[in-house]
Chain A
Amino acid sequence: MEKQRIRLTVNGEERECLAPVHHTLLEVLREDLGLMGTKHGCELGECGTCTVLVDGKPILSCLTLPIECEGREVRTVEGLAGAELDPLQRAFAELGAAQCGYCTPGFLLTAESLLEQNATPSRQQIAEALAGNLCRCTGYLKIFEAVELASARMRGEDPPSPVDTPVEVIRG
């Protein structure tokens, strides 16, 4: 199998590997660079699960060749958190927006890109931005709420944490 040298900047680090010429960015990230946070749901560009950011824009890593990304900035879910979770990750955790967690990295990166462009997205704008990402667990609602919560915090607002917010229950 013919292999080529690939040089990528991933999460701010210079990385280099040898990979078969036809391998996708998804395969190189997972198999050659050990970045298992990027998941796959179809490998046909249908589900958004493998979304990563290239120069800040969400792309489907299963449809991208790594050579196209040379000289550009690739960001995966591993690049979101430092010592602490970033605001989107924190909001997803607090709201239970990650149930099985498999689609979560793709949603986080798509939402990250949205919030970089639009600090005050409406519910409709959030839904439109995330329309290419499928989730089978949540019904998307907790994901919408998490993006809203994170955007409020990123604007410097201090909404109460969902953990401390009482939820209505009715005695039957």
Chain B
Amino acid sequence: MAEAPRTDLDVIGKSLLKVDAAAKVAGQTVFADDLVLPRMLFAKLLRSPHPHACIQRVDVSKAAALPGVHATLVGAELPIPFGILPVSQDEHALCIDKVRFVGDPVAAVAAADEETAEAACRLIEVEYAVLTPSMSIDEALANEGARIHDYGPRGNVHKEVSYDFGDVELGFAEADHIREDTFFFEGNTHLPMEQHAAVAACGPDGKLTLWSSTQTPHYVHRALAKVLELPPSQIRVIACPNGGGFGGKSDPFSHELVVSRLSQKTGRPVKITLTREEVFYCHRGRHPVKMWVRTGLKRDGTITAMHFRTALDGGAYGSYGVASLYYTGALQTVTYRIARYKFEGVRVFTNKPPCGPKRGHGTPQPRYALECHIDKFCADLGLDPGEWRLRNALKPYSVAANHMYVRTIGLEKCLETVMERSAFRAKRGRLGPGHGIGIAASSYLTGAGLPIYWNAMPQSGVQLKVDRGGGVTVFCGSTDIGQGSDSVLAYVVAEELGIRVEDIRVVTADTDLTPVDLGSYSSRVTLMTGNAAIQASRKLRALILGAAAKKLDAPVARLRAAGCRIWDTAEPAKAMTFTEAAVLAESEHGTLGAVGSYKPPKAVARWKGSGVGPTPTYSYSASVVELSVDRETGIVRVDKVWIAHDVGKALNPMLVLGQIEGSVYMGLGEALMEEQVFRKGLHKIPSMLDYKSPTTLEMPPVESIMIETLDPEGPYGAKECGQGPLLPVIPAVANAVHDALGIRIDETPITPEKIVAALEGRYRAPQMPRFRYPETVKVEPLDPASLPAPAAQEVTR
């Protein structure tokens, strides 16, 4: 930002209440299912009972004749495909020719109440011709003839990639030691407490409004326009506050399109609320990933080459999968120095609910593998795994092997802090039988460098309006999913204008009212909306302070705005209220308003596929986990977690701690119990009772420490904190289990059954699928002249 830095912050850095805190604790936040509109109808979806089948006939006549039914809908009525990524437009509002997983929606009904809609769904006749299902990566690759989609390079391969940065074979030739390991990360799901819901209302003018529990109203807006064949100007999407998202509400969904069309057909509002079982079918959660990693090292632990292979079980549709695939190879390079790097990956379609982005999107799986692999090669070389991580940590303003440009790095500080606080050095290997301690570190994006669909526009926009009474309204397309994004907007504007948070009203996530923000994903919101809000606020402040300066007869540079007052710092008696200044400014300039926007800096990387990985700035985390294992039962009790997170700048420390603790919790669930598994084509556990997630009784104490590196790209120096802290927890658990028992479970979740099997010598390590990766693209080295000059100046505010 061009303006001179200010060292005194009045709002930023304080643990203020969230702007919606009172409404939330009073139970007054209006979630999508809480909306009730006059004459509202209720929709239900009929879903496929088969994992893979051709649809031969759909007959809704009996359903349509049922009293209380107002409309039915089948796939042929909405034939245009959609999908979150432009390259994977492979979904339909309702299946037309084929179903691809148990739960794929086939037909829909709108009725006077839910029970009638359900009864009508049971009257819909569907004839299927059952096809061979593929329920795993290996089956999908073997069943080449039973293609799930008719696109992709061949068989059930959705996408395959292979890149070599710097010729790894040369690096392996230089190595003193080479180690290979294979890992499997089981799929798991977001399990937001709120079941997805949507209400559509098509007015007599043909204009459609959709309220939905979505993290990405802008993308839903685009999908609706495409599938309904309506100009976007006729569609308004409002994202209600999400009752938890974690990535699970980031795709446009069948049910959103279906209620919209049903509302058009009936001229009445139509609501749908998914059952918990249906939420498991929507999924878009963590991909199951098989991974193989081979690393060449010098005796001192210097990495000469790393070759990483991944195979992703994508489920039935593309979703974010192409991005997920690239993410399984993108961020291994931004934590430790790796001289040469090769990544090969493949995503295959299977007949299961589609996988997509869950907290950490595509990076927790390889991070888990890499951090376990590090402990293993350290053991081979007789190196201490904590010291190895410290010694090999990437330095600030580096360019990683795969051309990812890294700005500030708090990794060493994170590692030092958790090792010191946990007494890691004293405890490792010395806690006695059944007790162990493990460490791991990680990095994550603060927003993706590129938008999902290519365009040169900003990724985030903010608009401000000033009321004559001194109130300010912030308009922004961002969506609060519980992380506090509405509050961040208010804090930033309050800080910049020198007013109270209470004087600000925040209007978000409404495609009619708010400038576009791409959505709550990839940990982008605080950085991007924060920067956009700073820009808008400073434009507005210039108008208001300019008017005040004239009246006070003082130079603008000498004015200070804080606590709803503006005064001359040289002569503090020369002062006025913010409201008085705003009135002066409006009198001088006319209606007061300002806009601001943000677009990430251009990435250094230029190779095809390098759209995934760059970010304005990377966050860093390190974690130590101490745990106890019962050798008889295999039950793991986590005793304590230490975590340090480089958040750049904690804009609200209390909210940052909440994000860190929530990430630790979710990481522990994935490490020890959460798994989305299938049996004979069916989801084995589509309920909250059977899908194990940690309760209050499993949650250990967590010591969270925030590290501030004040990144020049972040607002006031801030980086993300909502996803990154999940990443190191999972491998730290695995490394601690090894410290406790001397065994390796090279897959997640690390369940009691697997531990007991390993202790009894029955554990079978995971294996990579038989697959020939495509020919490797050798990426040209970067021209040093093209690299940015290290932006060494620090942000001081």
Contact = CB atoms under 8 A, between A and B. Distances in A.
Interface of A: 1, 20, 36-44, 46-47, 49, 76-78, 80-81, 85, 88-90, 92-96, 98-105, 108, 126-128, 130-144, 162-163, 165, 167-172
B644 to A, nearest CB: 8
B242 interface: yes
Contacts of A105: 27
A92 B25 contact: yes
A135 B696 CA distance: 9
A77 B26 contact: yes
B61 interface: no
B708 interface: yes
Nearest to B688: A46
A89 B654 contact: no
Contacts of B663: 139
17 contacts: A43-B276, A46-B687, A77-B27, A81-B26, A85-B26, A92-B24, A93-B22, A101-B25, A102-B244, A103-B193, A139-B661, A139-B665, A139-B702, A162-B15, A169-B707, A170-B705, A172-B708
Contacts of A169: 650, 653, 706-708
A81 B26 CA distance: 7
A137 B663 CA distance: 8
A47 B25 contact: no
B687 A41 contact: no
B740 interface: no
A141 B694 CA distance: 12
B480 to A, nearest CB: 8
Interface of B: 14-18, 20-31, 33-34, 115, 190-195, 241-246, 275-276, 408, 410, 413-414, 417, 481-484, 644, 646, 650, 653-655, 657-658, 661-666, 687-689, 693, 695-697, 699, 701-702, 705-709
Contact of B665 (A89, A140, A165): A140
A60 B34 CA distance: 19
Nearest to B654: A96
Contact of A96 (B195, B644, B658): B658
B650 A167 contact: yes
Contacts of A41: 193-195, 276, 688
A137 B689 CA distance: 18
Given A41-B194, A43-B276, A136 B666 contact: yes
Given A41-B276, A172-B410, A99 B658 contact: yes
Most chain A beta carbons < 10 A, residue from B413, B483, B654, B696: B696
A36 B688 contact: no
A150 B34 CA distance: 28
A139 B706 contact: no
Contact of B483 (A76, A93, A99): A99
Please name the 4 residue pairs, one residue from A and one from B, whose CB atoms are nearest each other, closest first: A37-B27, A100-B482, A139-B665, A102-B243
B647 to A, nearest CB: 8
B259 to A, nearest CB: 18
A100 B24 CA distance: 8
B658 A134 contact: no
Contacts of A108: 25
Nearest to A47: B688
Contacts of A36: 27, 30, 34
